Amino acid sequence: MFHMGWFMGTGFGVYNWNQRWSGNVGSDVGNPQLFIDMATSLERAGFDYMMMEDSSVLPNVHGGTFESSVKSGGTIRFDPIPLVPLLTNATRHIGIVATISTSFYHPFMAARLFSTLDHITEGRVGMNLVTSSNKSAMQNYGLKDLIPHDERYDRANEWVDVVKALWDSWDEDAVLMDEAQGVFADHTKVHTVDFEGKYYRSRGPLNTIPGPQRHPVICQAGGSDVGRQFGARNADTIIAAVKGVEEMKAYRDDITARREALGLDPNGVKVLYLVSPIMADSKGEAEAKDQAMKDATAANIDAQVAGFSYFTSTDWSKFDYDAPFPDLSKNEGHQSTMNDWARSGATIREAVMNHRTQESVRLVGTPESVAQEMEEHMDYAGGDGYLIAMPVTRKNITEIADGLAPALRQRGVIRPSYDKATFRENLLAY
């Protein structure tokens, strides 16, 4: 069996607002109901988690204006964290992962916030750790410039150490709740952490008590060398944005090797691959749908290239879209993504058209044929599951929850039910 998640690529944002099947856009934007419906549907489907992307910036790098950000609405983000308890309140099993930036949250704030959420959600919260790769976002928090790529990961490793030390600042048996003796907790089992690192200091202990998971699930997606090392060391689940089954396999093998070198159990982290299945009642219809989506992308290429400007903090509107993809592999933003495209030797236009970032393998067909391919690819790659990356519309959710998931379940490759109490336990159950 493998695990399933959904990557909400524009977080608590604006999905498909002027497209077909986007529902009641006016009232859905900023309203939690769409995401509550999504959580209940994905729980019906047996999903492990929903992961909400996030960022703290309205970019104006592309063309030097806010036009590409504001006109499409694509970079508008509400803070995803207040959504978490609303989603878990409407469900009983599914895990909810919210993104936070190790560069912007002090570890004490993050440890306390996610410990609190662990209680509120009864053990179903996770944090997606990002280091943030955008200069304007850094400036929003008062920093002058982008912290260099590898240093961000150095800081992030230390950040995780502080957060985990704070989560462990109460021993397992510290809370007594002894009503007869009037002792809530044993003070000898609560400790300062006195963390003094290169980047962070924290005294501790936390003034919350440990939640049901004790350590909320940690998710991570950076694919550069230091990004993978960070994921192997700290994450419980890793999102792999790769191309093709060979890269899927290589990614899982790489994480296994890194975990073993660190003396950690390779099975203690679940590697999920991004996919965007295109499904219809027949293979032919699905192919036509895929072509229509490609045509729509071709007609709106500037919107896609604006995404590259954002990822790299470089104005791509100045580049010739029909020239080879520039070598920005050492940019201080998203390194692995840019390397992939530069390596392919394609023009910018071809890269946009042919290299869907959220498609580890192309899945176009009926729910049954797609389910079969997913099983075959996973058998080969040896990974732990897939993360659906599609715009959040009720139609897409239904296709996955009521079309694909039953086909996967029929093949016996996804869970028939949730056996454990917490997100962490369900994720690590197999």
**Which residue number, 87 or 286, has a Cβ lying nearer to ligand FMN?**
87
CB of 224 to ligand FMN, least distance (A): 3
Question: Which residue matches tokens 């609190």?
Answer: 116
Q: Which H, E and C letters describe the chain, residue by residue?
A: CCEEEEEECCCEECCCCCCCCCCCHHHHCCCCHHHHHHHHHHHHCCCCEEEECCCCCCCCCHHHCCHHHHHHCCCCEECCCCHHHHHHHCCCCCEEEEEEECCCCCHHHHHHHHHHHHHHCCCCEEEEEECCCCHHHHHHCCCCCCCCHHHHHHHHHHHHHHHHHHHCCECCCCEEEECCCCEEECHHHECCCCEECCCCEECCCCCCCCCCCCCCEEEECCCCHHHHHHHHHHCCEEEECCCHHHHHHHHHHHHHHHHHHCCCCHHHCEEEEEECCEECCCHHHHHHHHHHHHHHHHHCHHHHHHHHHHHHCCCHHHCCCCCECCCCCCCCCCHHHHHHHHHCCCEHHHHHHHCCCCCCCCCEECHHHHHHHHHHHHHHHCCCEEEECCCCCHHHHHHHHHHHHHHHHHCCCCCCCCCCCCHHHHHCCC
Q: How far apart are CA 163 and CA 402, in angstroms?
A: 38
CB of 304 to ligand FMN, least distance (A): 16
| Cis status, amide bond into 205, omega within 30 of 0 | yes
CB of 384 to ligand FMN, least distance (A): 15
**Which residue number, 193 or 240, has a Cβ lying nearer to ligand FMN?**
240
Q: Which amino acid appears at position 148 of this protein? A: P
**Which residue number, 68 or 208, has a Cβ lying nearer to ligand FMN?**
68
**Which residue number, 224 or 366, has a Cβ lying nearer to ligand FMN?**
224
Q: How far apart are CA 335 and CA 312, in angstroms?
A: 8
**Which residue number, 337 or 366, has a Cβ lying nearer to ligand FMN?**
337
CB of 408 to ligand FMN, least distance (A): 21
**Which residue number, 80 or 367, has a Cβ lying nearer to ligand FMN?**
80
**Which residue number, 16 or 133, has a Cβ lying nearer to ligand FMN?**
133
**Which residue number, 103 or 366, has a Cβ lying nearer to ligand FMN?**
103
Q: Is 61 exposed, middle or buried (0-12, 13-18, 19+ CB in 10 A)?
A: buried
CB of 297 to ligand FMN, least distance (A): 19
CB of 335 to ligand FMN, least distance (A): 4
Looking from the CA of 425 toward its CB, the CA atoms found within 13 Å total 11
CB of 367 to ligand FMN, least distance (A): 23
Binding site for ligand FMN (CB under 6 A): 7, 53-55, 99, 128, 130, 132-133, 149, 221-224, 227, 239, 241, 274, 334-337
**Which residue number, 227 or 365, has a Cβ lying nearer to ligand FMN?**
227
Considering only CA atoms, which of 426, 428, 415, 425 is closest in space to residue 44?
A: 415
**Which residue number, 130 or 174, has a Cβ lying nearer to ligand FMN?**
130
Which residue sits closest to ligand FMN, CB atoms considered?
Answer: 227
CB of 68 to ligand FMN, least distance (A): 18
CB of 280 to ligand FMN, least distance (A): 25
CB of 112 to ligand FMN, least distance (A): 21
CB of 266 to ligand FMN, least distance (A): 20
**Which residue number, 60 or 337, has a Cβ lying nearer to ligand FMN?**
337
